[in-house]
Every structure is written in C-alpha cells, then in structure tokens.
Structure 1
C-alpha cells in the first residue's frame, strides 16, 4: 500500500491520551516540539524525547528485573516451606498419630482436661521446676499424735535401703539409692491428727509401716521407702499411734 504524504488536513479532535499519566518531562518536550520556531530547537526536542524514552525504558527494565528476582526468591521460599509442611505431615502419618492420641495427651493422671497440650506441659514443667509442696497431692499416711499442735512434717525417700535418720540430719542408713527429701504437705484433721501428702510418683497403696523413732515412721512398698518425720521428737512419746 502506497503511503500518502500529502494529507493537507490538520490533526483535530480530543486527545485520547490521559494527561495525568504523562510525565512532566514528556509534557515539556511535547510543548517544545509543537511551539519552537526554529528547526534546530524542534530537532533537539525530538532528540531529547528519544533519549528520555530510552532512559524510561531502562528504568522500567531494571524494575522488571528486580521484580523477577523477587518473584524467584519468593517461589524458592514457598517451595521450601511447602516441602517442610509436607515432610512434617508425612512424619505425622508415619507415626500413626491420630486425633484421639492428641486429645488423650491433654488429660493428666488425675483426669484433669487441659484446653491445649501446651497448657498441660507448661503446668507440668512449672511443678517440676518449682518443686514446691503444692506438688504433693496424694495421701500416704494418716496418724494420731499427742503433740497437740499443728506439727511440721518431713518426708525422705529412697530405693532398696532404709535410709533412716533423725530429724534435722542428712539421710543415712542401710545402703539404698536415690535418697532425698521430697515435697510434702500436711493436712491437719485436728491438732492431734494429720494426713501426709506426697507427689503422685511417690504414692503407696498398701505400705508396711514401722515406727523407727518416737516421731519417725518408715513406709516400705516394694523397693521404695518413705521416711516420715512428725513434729518434735522430744514432744512425742509412746502414746503416739498409727
């Protein structure tokens, strides 16, 4: 098709270009091309337009390259995180973990149900770390005494040995291992009767009880022993009963 370079009509009508999308630099160059009197100024404006367009294209290319690099990095991170989730899921399936196991893990030995497994673990850790008398919840021994006061108690435990010692002295005895004082708490039923509480792991169902001193008792069940000291040795006498 032959081009017609002899169109005498002028360009008229509204511009389809959105002015708010044209940069100020391009507006100035367009104004120079339209309004400059001398040809050399029009040519210079056209040359500047070409150079400015090239500069804009370069900036756009750099932005595009940066976005492409970012997209690649995000894709790598996405793939890595997705694979991690897949691996964890496979490990869960491989371990045959079921919903019932997770539910049961939130229930402690006393039947207390925690809202989350973390809540139960935090509570357990707190008891272990603090090692306070509040951890003593199980009654192993109830005694009537004649000291007529809210007497203090002390409980020492050991394995395969008596480990008997008077109140206030380090545990000693006939061999044994793991001899140590454990958290204990008295429940005063009256001024002359109390129940001894110890942590669950030291609970005894039907121990053999031996009185080893006026205010001291040895409880034996299997290989485990408990030495319980009640109040003041000087105040206790033979009338104290189990």
Structure 2
C-alpha cells in the first residue's frame, strides 16, 4: 500500500531534504507539487512549470558557458538540449523521490511508477519556479546545480550530422541547396569506395570518400564545414 502523501510541515521538510531550500510560502510549494490531473485540486502547477522551464534553461546555459569556455555553440547546444529535456527532469524527479510528494491522478502515477513520466518532469520544473518565486534566482541556481552540474560531463551528446548541419548553415545565408554528385566508384561490389563532391552555388565544391554513398556524402559535407570555418579544425565530434 502506498504511503500517504505528506502535506504542510512534513512536505516542506521532505522537500528541504532533497532541495536544501526552506520555503517561506508553503502554499506555493503545494501548488508546485500539484499536477493538473489531481482530483478536486483548486490549483495546479502548469503556470509554475512554464516559468521553471525558463529558469532551468537560463541556469543550465550559464553553467555550460562557464564550464566549457572553449566549446563552440554547436558543441554546447546538444549538451544543453540533453540536460533540459523532459527525460532528464523526470530522472531527477525520481532521484528526489518526488513520486511520493506529487499530488496527481492515482492511475497516472501507477502507470508511471518507477519510470518517471511527464508529470514528474513537470513537477521538477514547477519546483524550480517555486524556489525562484519564493527565494530568488540564487536559491534556484543552487538547487539546479546540485542535480544538473554532475550530469554536465556525463551526458551523451548525439554525434553531429554533417549533411543536416550544412543544410542548416546554407539556409541561414541564402536559398542555395547542396547537391551531391558521385565523382567516382572504385573497388569490388562487396567493398566499394565512393568519391562524392558537394556543390553549393557561390562556393568551391569539396570532396569526400567512403565505403558507401552516404558515408562519402557526409565526408564531403564535413570537409565543406571545416573549410568554411563552421566546424573547428580539431574535428567534427562534439
């Protein structure tokens, strides 16, 4: 049988243990931990969730800016996206044992038991906002860094997609589109080597080789991005 959800002083003490913050306005805390699915709830955390998402984004962006001073925007952005997404917020909610503190529909909580879920991610963002409203940016920052900073270097960043990044970069500078042309195909059928050039109006073409047409196209796009300074010369990995 599930434990009864704490309220009032007991709730404030439970949240203090996981956040390090003492709420002055306990009604604000109750609202932050009340999901819109809660039966007969007079208010819910949707507005706080909206604000908390923005506070989280600001603090995490600043943290990454300070922690990785030599990283380009293209290297920081994927890490930022991974840190502020719903999955990460949900995982942190589980770490804080918020499942037992959030007021929400019993069936919704049962379906998500042990795996988080969006209602838990919403509660984490709402809690960030509640701390911000109740105590200001510094307590909110301390809480965020407590859980997000250890993940900053652990997060797995998706590898870059050179063709997509080339398309996006060109779209910022004009209406041209990259065209990939097979220049050469060598080797036996079971082990071919393709040479492909990428041609963009107004630029000299670049070439790339690979064991498949796609690999050669990606190599050509990577060479283009490196030559034009879109990617740093130390490599294309984030």
Per the normalisation by structure 2, the TM-score is 0.18
Identify the structure with the greater helix proportion: 2
Identify the structure with the greater strand proportion: 1
Per the normalisation by structure 1, the TM-score is 0.17
Greater RCO, 1 or 2 (C-alpha within 8 Å, sep 6+): 2
Structure having the higher Rg: 1
